[in-house]
Chain A
């Protein structure tokens, strides 16, 4: 069994360029989350998918950010016209379908993609 996989691990880009990150969740997990973590802070929620449907987006997710999960499996997060403030660790997490309350299901995180915008 493999965990959540993210690619690339590191990305260095120049301001103004577009970048795309990929996340492959644990195979039987139907929920997928994107988080952003800056230095010295806890992860901040960006967006959430249940299967292929994007159900919630944070106010942190400006119109330069777009996320997709076209077939309910892997997901991509694209940042257009990157800015230096976008430099952060981007974490993907997944959690399984539950028959009961969803609040007791832990998220399983990938190792993240560290983005540096120069």
Chain B
């Protein structure tokens, strides 16, 4: 079974600072994918970034980067130069290599960017 753990229920960060959202995972699959989603108060789930278990380099997408440490089974999301619009729930999720069952999500981190 797959499991995602997000240990930060909420975070307050000053605008323009960088922020790291923690995610650890557990799986017995040798092949898997790790995803981060953003959910604003309006409710839609917005895909941010993906990291494959065999990827040698950390994924980056604009201001988002993923700090992937495979041995530690962690996949932390880093947001550089935070903006007020970054305030939202952030979910870490994974999909296994044999997985036809979609994504397994963590409980999320509520990020609030303060001016």
Please list the residues of chain A having a beta carbon within 8 angstroms of any beta carbon in chain B: 33, 35, 40-45, 48, 50, 55-56, 58, 89, 91, 93, 101-112, 114
Contacts and interface: CB of A to CB of B under 8 A. Distances in A.
B25 interface: no
A104 B44 contact: no
A48 B46 CA distance: 19
Interface in B21-50: 31-33, 35, 37, 42-47, 50
B68 interface: no
B47 A108 contact: yes
Contacts, number: 74
Q: Which of A42, A44, A106, A108 has the most CB of B within 10 A?
A: A42
Nearest to B110: A40
Given A42-B105, A44-B105, A104-B52, A109 B97 contact: no
Contacts of B104: 45
A104 B33 contact: yes
Given A45-B102, A50-B100, 11 more contacts: A33-B102, A40-B107, A41-B107, A42-B93, A43-B45, A48-B101, A102-B100, A103-B96, A104-B33, A105-B33, A107-B103
A114 B95 CA distance: 25
A111 B44 contact: yes
B100 A111 contact: no
27 contacts: A35-B102, A41-B108, A42-B4, A42-B107, A43-B45, A45-B101, A48-B100, A48-B101, A48-B102, A50-B100, A55-B100, A56-B100, A56-B101, A91-B45, A101-B52, A103-B31, A103-B33, A103-B97, A104-B52, A106-B35, A107-B102, A107-B103, A109-B37, A110-B44, A111-B43, A112-B43, A114-B43
